[in-house]
Each structure stands twice: as C-alpha cells, then as structure tokens.
Amino acid sequence: MLNSIEMQELNKKGIFNRFADAQPTFTGNNIGLPAGILSALSPQVIENILAYRTGDEALGKREKLLDWKDDIYYTPLVERTGQTTPYSDYGMPLLAGMNINFNQTGHYRFSTKYHYANLEAEQISGARVNYNDMLMSAATEAIAVELNRVAFNGYIDNASKKFICYGLLNNPDLNEYETFTKSFENMTWQELMADFAKAVKKLVEQTGNNINSQSNIRCVISASMFAILQSKYTDLGISVYDTLLKTYPNMKFVPAIEFDAAEQGRNVAYFIGESYSGGIADTTKFGYSELALMGNVVQTDYGYSQAMSAGTCGALVYKPAFIVRFMAAQ
C-alpha cells in the first residue's frame, strides 16, 4: 500500500496528475483514479511505470518537459562562436557568443485501456491471482513498451506520413554514419580496439577536444555487437569489453536489441559524449508529458473500465556534434 510520501513522489513525476480530484467512488463523472484503487497499487505496477527502459538508458535521461495540453516542444541547438585579436589599448576585440537555433518536435499522446469484469475477477482471484494488479500491470507494461519504441524509432502520423517526434535512430540532426573496418565477427581484438579509438578520435575532432578518451562517453551498441565484445579475448585472456573499460574508464555501454540491423540491415553503435559545453549539460534526453495519466472510471453493468495514457516528444538531441555513429561493414 502506498503511503502519502510515495504518493507525492509519484505526482512529482507527472503520474496520476488528476488524483487530487479523485474520490473513492465509481460514478461516471469521477475525474482520475479512485483512491481506493490507487492505494492498492502493487510494487510491480509502480515498477512498470517508473523503471528505466533501454531507451531511457540510451538517451541518458528521462525528463518531464511537456504539460499534457502542449502540442510542441522546442529543442535548443547551441553553437559557440568567438575569435580573439591581439591586445591594444585602442583596439576593438572581436565578440564571443553563441548561435542558438530551435528545432520543434510534436507531442505524441497515446492510450490503452483495461476492463475489470466481476465474474472473471472472482474466478481468477480463486486461483490466488490479484486480478486488479494483473490488469493494471498489463496496461502499464503496454505504455512502457510504446515509450521505449518511440525513444528509438519516433512516431509517424498515419494521416500525414510525417514524424510527430523522432527517435534516436532517425533524428535528422545527427551526422552521417561512419563504417567499422570489418564485421565484428571477423575482427581481431586489436582491430576492434583500433576502431573504438577511431570513434573516440572522431568525437575529439567534432567537439574541439571537449570530449576525449577520459570523458564520459555513452556507447549505445547493438546487442549482437556487445556480445562479441564480451566473448572475444586478447592474447592475455582478457575480454575486449574489459580491455575497453580499462582504456576508456568513463565509457558506459548500453546494449540495445533495437540497434541490431538498424541501418540498411546492419548493426550500429553510437558514441555519445557528455560535457557541460555551451551551457547545456545533456547531449540527449527522452522527453515526456505523462507516464501514466489515468482516465475516468467508466462503470459497466458487470464491472468497470479505465483508460491509461502517456505522452512524449521523443528523443531530443541538443548537441549533435557530441555524437558519432558507426554501422557494421558489409
């Protein structure tokens, strides 16, 4: 059972925003989740709502950036500028500053629903299964799976055939793919290390050394590629994965099945540098408005139904130069 402090924490995360108006009743004009149901939410249901998925890990952060009513989110893209001149008492130094452009992304809202049936509830409860928890877990899991899908692939409006929001794999602000020397399966451990060094060198060049081998780098990599890093060994019997961690102590690996065959049927890897450059801390993040907004409880003759909704503006890229993308060789 949730206590008042846990309830407040959930509300801060944009969950159950309408709970304040809810009453322990099933009347048709009730707005939000009835207190009687909410107080009985199981840890599994809460875990489904709050747990970070692969998409959150790949983007580094999940953050509430929109209100439910908002249709558009504006992403600032920052480029620092500035030159110097030799000092002179009468000179006019050149200005330093920054260019800021704003990209806009849409707000993708989606819903699911569960139906509580009285007879079915009694029958399933006889098997010592918590029927209400099972239904809500199914709904929250469906929401979480869709949010994770959007984090990688975005959402295309069926009518206009245009992206409402983008995912990490198709964000138009990203640079073109580089290509690994060979397929991971056919590389020696030395060749794998050389290609990772090539990726880090590219980050150094693109960021003016704001990112280097000692920086925080998030390597989002095909799950198949990651498995090879763990199973291929150096001459000293150390896995390539462990060797990479020693060489790049601040590199974090995020294996993602979504990166398997993601570009032209080939596996891919992203190297995402993190640095407080240009006054912006995050290179990427996943933006949302709601994680589990509960709709009205609708009473039926023999039970009730309730919708659950969520909203996202997808994968946001604030500093494209801090990302290097590689795909497998053919």
Question: Could you read off the pLDDT of 118-141 as tens digits, one per residue?
Answer: 999 888 877 777 888 888 888 999
Q: Kindly give the residue spans of alpha helices, DSSP state H, lying in 213-329.
A: 223-231, 240-247
Extract the tokens encoding 257.
């099945």
Q: How distant, in Å, are the alpha carbons of 114, 169, 263, 325 from that of 147?
A: 18, 14, 21, 23
pLDDT band at 330 (very low <50, low <70, confident <90, very high): confident
pLDDT of residue 303: 92
Is 179 within 8 Å of 326 (Cβ atoms)?
Answer: yes
> What CATH number has the domain spanning 178-284+319-327?
3.30.2320.10
pLDDT at 167 over 60: yes
State percent of the chain over pLDDT 90.
60
pLDDT of residue 18: 41
Question: Counting beta carbons within 10 angstroms of the beta carbon of residue 15, is it exposed (0 to 12), middle (13 to 18) or buried (19 or more)?
Answer: buried
DSSP state of 89: T
Extract the tokens encoding 233.
């060994």
> In whole angstroms, what separates CA 233 from the centre of its chain?
32
Least confident of 130-144, 167-181, 250-264, 307-321: 130-144
Extract the tokens encoding 251.
């590199």
pLDDT of residue 126: 77
Whether pTM exceeds 0.75: yes
Residues of the chain within CATH 3.30.2320.10 domain(s) are 178-284+319-327
Residues of the chain within CATH 3.30.2400 domain(s) are 4-73+104-167+286-317
**How much is the average pLDDT of 271-299?**
86
Is 313 within 8 Å of 286 (Cβ atoms)?
Answer: no
Is 30 within 8 Å of 297 (Cβ atoms)?
Answer: yes
Looking at every residue in the chain, the average pLDDT score rounds to 84
pLDDT digits (tens, 9 = 90+) for 37-93: 444 456 666 666 667 789 999 999 899 999 999 999 987 766 666 677 788 878 788
**How much is the average pLDDT of 105-124?**
92
Give me the CATH topology for the region 4-73+104-167+286-317.
Major capsid protein gp5 fold (3.30.2400)
pLDDT of residue 19: 37
Place of tokens 């102590």: 249
The DSSP string of 119-170 is HHHHHHHTTT--HHHHHHHHHHHHHHHHHHHHHHH-EE-TTT-SEEE--TTT
Is 121 within 8 Å of 132 (Cβ atoms)?
Answer: yes
